[in-house]
Structure 1
Amino acid sequence: MQQFNTIPLKKLPSKEERHKLFGSVPPGEKKKPTEKNKMADLQNVKRDFLFDLDAVGVSNVKYPVRVLSGQAPLEQTTIGTFSFSSSIPANSKGTNMSRFMELLEQYHQNGFNVSVGALKQFTKDLATKLEQTDATISVSFPWFYERKAPYSSAAGLNHAEASVSVCYSANKGYQINVSLNVQITTLCPCSKEISEYSAHNQRGNVTVEAELDPDFSNEDEDWKVLLLEAAESNASARLHPVLKRPDEKMVTESAYENPRFVEDIVRLIAADLYELPAVMKFYVACRNEESIHMHDAIASVTYDKRNGQG
């Protein structure tokens, strides 16, 4: 066996002595109560604290969640990034932060899925737990969906960034806001028009945000699929994780046959959203990562169907 020359090990102080070396001190005398009912509860102090607060809660909470989908894969697990809040009146010092996390864990133990229906129930339960008249939950997560190549049907997974926010008010009911960030292919109409052959194309980043009808439920439709189809069906071409040569030919030709400016993209998507009964208000933005410029091209539109205004 080969022998190695080793340096003699240095004798270290004990762990307790090392802790003392780096500032640890012995516990002091404990005089305050350890029973919950005897402890001071500063957050529940009632007094005039000058102002009502719009939102008090916790954010950037990461927790495992289930995502149900109207497009394969029909169920998936992922990580949700949450924020929770409620308003508090001027006569309340604060809120009970632990109750937000207690309810999240309770839902997690029962297999928390981030459907609109489940989030509506969560906000109502949260308001009750906080002894407030309102509560809000927001969660964002990556959503994976199957995409098959147009000729070979070779399948793979694409993904979009999804988020949903549900606000509950005992007086006003629910407000539901959803968003999806989708990537697409766009081909420049001007380049196609002026060139003898070919046309430059680029990847477009589409953001769709929508306020849904308060009675909306995922039982009938999946909002993620609705927003995805609105974005992708109006692109020059869809993105695919797997493409064989015949597929690549079809995708390239599809892009050439459907040239789109960013202005075209947002208007076409807006038209589809306008026709969706569940959508009350929407915002659409497109950012093209230009292939022949160092800058990006952008366009956006906002429209409220309830009053016909942006």
Structure 2
Amino acid sequence: MNNRVISSQTLNNQTLPDIAAQSAPARQALDWVGMCNIDIPLLIEGQRTAGKVDAGVSLDDETARGIHMSRLYLALQRLAQTPLSPALLKAVLAEFLTSHSGLSQRASLRISLDWMIQREALVSDLSGWRSYPVTIDAYLDADGLKLELGVTLTYSSTCPCSAALARQLIQQRFADEFINTPIFHEQIHNWLGSTDGIVATPHSQRSTAHIQLRLHEQTTDFAVLAVIDRAEKALGTAVQTAVKRADEQAFALRNGQNLMFCEDAARRLDMTLREQPGSAAVKLKVVHAESLHAHDAVAESSWNWD
């Protein structure tokens, strides 16, 4: 048998088959067709980071077999070349639709990344890095551009009920210790600093806030750092990185001054995020991973979210 080598010139002179251009075996439109977890380097607010992108369009032509995924992939390369902005995402989505004229009427993408921030300790000169999961969702159709920013942050929460119960036990121990006994300032001071005095402590837990903001279409940036800073300031107990004993003591003070149920945390975040510049709607969920129970305490809130 003779084996004939097919040259690249021979291939170039042929029309390659385009199966996607064939008619669909069943006539039906599809809500979304695309790709997920595409690796893309990003530059956002001056920070270089690696991101994952989901990109797709609607398939509104019921007779079409499929979309042109390579066209979406090529359009996404603009994200690696230009600082990320709402205007850039709108341009990329518009290119999605232009490259699928007659096939698609809606385009969307989701960007997922870890936002790194160097945080200083509360008192000492130490610092360390914190990672915040961030998502950016963008949608484009005949009604215009829709943008959503998602941020997840971690904080500490101390239960107000547990704190009150601990104080009651300390008061009772104090009454038992010094009943009908004249006491002086130094005695009280020493007693409060002993394990005999502080017989109970409230329970605290690492907690998580999942925040979503719908941004105004005319917004010019995502303000990721500003959103994180605003949320952590409202809570008052963001988890720390490198600490010395003085920082740990300052953190204990913050927890004592910011006792909160999950409901309290949700209300704090809701109120402050409504005032975030560029925010048109808010949706959030807080999760307190209980140290008392084997289950979590959860609260959700929304404003202007339809």
Amino acid paired to 1:123: L
Amino acid paired to 1:119: L
Cα 1:36–1:250 change in 2 (3 A) is farther
Q: Which segments of 5 or more consecutive residues in structure 2 lack a partner in the other structure?
A: 171-197
Does 1:44 pair with 2:44? no
Q: Which residue of 2 aligns with 1:59?
A: 36
Q: 1 CA distance for matches of 2:3 and 2:245?
A: 71
Q: 2 CA distance for matches of 1:237 and 1:27?
A: 73
Residue 296 of structure 1 and its aligned partner are, at CA, apart by: 1.8
CA contact (8 A) 1:165 1:176 kept: yes
What per-residue deviation string (whole Å, max 9, x for no partner) do you get for residues 18-41 of structure 1? xxxxxxxx98997xx834861232
Q: Which residue of 1 aligns with 2:205?
A: 202
Residue 126 of structure 1 and its aligned partner are, at CA, apart by: 2.2
- Give the alignment's TM-score, normalised by structure 1: 0.78
CA contact (8 A) 2:94 2:140 kept: yes
Whichever structure has more helix as a proportion of its residues is 2
Residue 153 of structure 1 and its aligned partner are, at CA, apart by: 4.0
Does 1:121 pair with 2:98? no
CA contact (8 A) 1:206 1:231 kept: no
Quick check: 47-56 or 246-255, which moved more?
Answer: 47-56
Does 1:95 pair with 2:67? yes
CA contact (8 A) 1:210 1:280 kept: yes
CA contact (8 A) 1:236 1:256 kept: no
Q: Which residue of 2 aligns with 1:235?
A: 235
Q: 2 CA distance for matches of 1:260 and 1:45?
A: 60
**Whose relative contact order is higher, 1 or 2, with alpha carbons under 8 Å and at least 6 apart?**
2
Does 1:136 pair with 2:112? no
CA contact (8 A) 2:106 2:140 kept: yes
Quick check: 251-260 or 286-295, which moved more?
Answer: 286-295
Residue 67 of structure 1 and its aligned partner are, at CA, apart by: 2.6
What per-residue deviation string (whole Å, max 9, x for no partner) do you get for residues 214-253 of structure 1? 11111xxx43123313431232512221212222211110
Does 1:151 pair with 2:123? yes
Q: Which segments of 5 or more consecutive residues in structure 1 lack a partner in the other structure?
A: 1-25, 69-74
Q: 2 CA distance for matches of 1:275 and 1:135?
A: 29
Q: Which residue of 1 aligns with 2:179?
A: none
Aligned counterpart in structure 2 of residue 83 of structure 1, from 18, 32, 54: 54
Residue 161 of structure 1 and its aligned partner are, at CA, apart by: 0.2
- Give the alignment's TM-score, normalised by structure 2: 0.79
CA contact (8 A) 1:211 1:279 kept: yes
Amino acid paired to 2:133: E
Q: 1 CA distance for matches of 2:33 and 2:47?
A: 31
Identity across matched positions, percent: 21
- After TM superposition, the runs of 4+ consecutive aligned structure 1 residues lying more than 6 A away are 26-30
Q: How is 1:132-281 mapped onto 2 (pairs within 5 angstroms)?
A: 132-169=104-141, 171-195=142-166, 196=170, 197=198, 198-218=201-221, 222-281=222-281
Residue 47 of structure 1 and its aligned partner are, at CA, apart by: 6.9
